Every structure is written in structure tokens, then in C-alpha cells.
């Protein structure tokens, strides 16, 4: 899965245009609701070491909100990790280049969107 596929999905599904909030990190993009401005996702480019993998290769990740009971199981699956730079009880990381089934991630994006829309 690629960053572009995520951005295309959220634009088509929710009308979301990502925001680049930090000059220091131009590869970081925030996905948020237009009505309440709450984040439902963040796309970042980080060293693999920062997400518990070997090496310093930069990789795209997507951080999403989830149900705490589900996150315990999600982070045990290949292509997923505890949240990077967010509360690990309520958020988790998708390692985009490790995902082969985009539909699973699209469903997780939908869930994150629903959890943050209030």
C-alpha cells in the first residue's frame, strides 16, 4: 500500500485533503474532520527503528485510532505496530509498504473516522 492510495481513499470517501502542519517535517500529513478538526489519521515518514524494526530505512506509516480491545490484536499482525508518537492504548501504526490487502486498511480508516467524528 502507498501513501498515495491512502490519500486518494480519504479524499474520495470523506473529502479529506491532508494538511502539512510542520515545516520541519514536510513528509508528515494530518487527516482530520472538517467539522470538528479532530485528527483521524496521520501519515509520516520515519526510520524503521522508531517503529520497532531493524534498520534506519525511512518508511511511510499511517497512524489510526482504534478500539483499545482491537488494538491489542491488530498490533500482533504483520504490517502493524504500536502507535508512533500517539497514545498506544487508542492509536496504532500501519506500516504501509508491508500491507498487501488495502481493503483491511480502508476499513480501519473508516473505523478511525467514526471513532473521532464526535
Which pLDDT tens digit goes with each residue over 61-117?
999 999 999 999 999 999 999 999 899 999 999 999 999 999 999 999 999 999 999
Residue 23 C-alpha cell reads as 515545516
Find where cell 470517501 sits: 13
Q: Is the torsion defined by CA of 83, 54, 75, 110 positive or negative?
A: positive
User: Does residue 48 contact residue 57 with C-beta atoms inside 8 Å?
Assistant: yes
Tell me the three state secondary structure of residue 29. Answer: strand
Please tell me the total number of residues recorded for the chain in this structure: 118
Q: Is the pLDDT assigned to residue 52 strictly greater than 90?
A: no
Please, which residues have CB within 8 angstroms of residue 52's CB and are 6 or more apart in sequence? 81, 82
Q: Which CATH class is domain 3-115?
A: alpha beta
Return the bridge partners of 35, or none: none
The residue extents of the domains of the chain are: 3-115
User: Does residue 67 contact residue 95 with C-beta atoms inside 8 Å?
Assistant: no
Confidence at residue 44, expressed as pLDDT on a 0 to 100 scale = 97
Query: What's the predicted TM-score (pTM) here?
Result: 0.94
Average pLDDT across the chain, whole number: 95
Return the bridge partners of 43, or none: 29, 62
Amino acid at each position: 500500500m502507498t501513501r498515495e492510495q491512502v490519500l486518494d481513499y480519504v479524499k474520495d470517501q470523506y473529502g479529506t485533503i491532508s494538511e502539512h502542519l510542520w515545516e520541519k517535517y514536510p513528509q508528515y500529513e494530518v487527516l482530520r474532520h472538517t467539522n470538528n478538526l479532530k485528527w483521524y489519521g496521520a501519515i509520516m515518514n520515519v526510520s524503521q527503528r522508531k517503529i520497532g524494526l531493524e534498520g534506519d530505512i525511512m518508511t511511510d506509516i499511517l497512524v489510526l485510532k482504534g478500539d483499545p480491545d482491537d488494538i491489542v490484536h491488530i498490533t500482533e499482525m504483520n504490517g502493524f505496530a504500536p502507535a508512533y508518537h500517539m497514545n498506544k492504548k487508542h492509536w496504532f501504526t500501519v506500516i504501509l509498504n508491508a500491507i498487501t490487502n488495502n481493503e483491511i486498511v480502508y476499513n480501519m480508516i473508516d473505523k478511525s473516522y467514526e471513532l473521532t467524528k464526535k
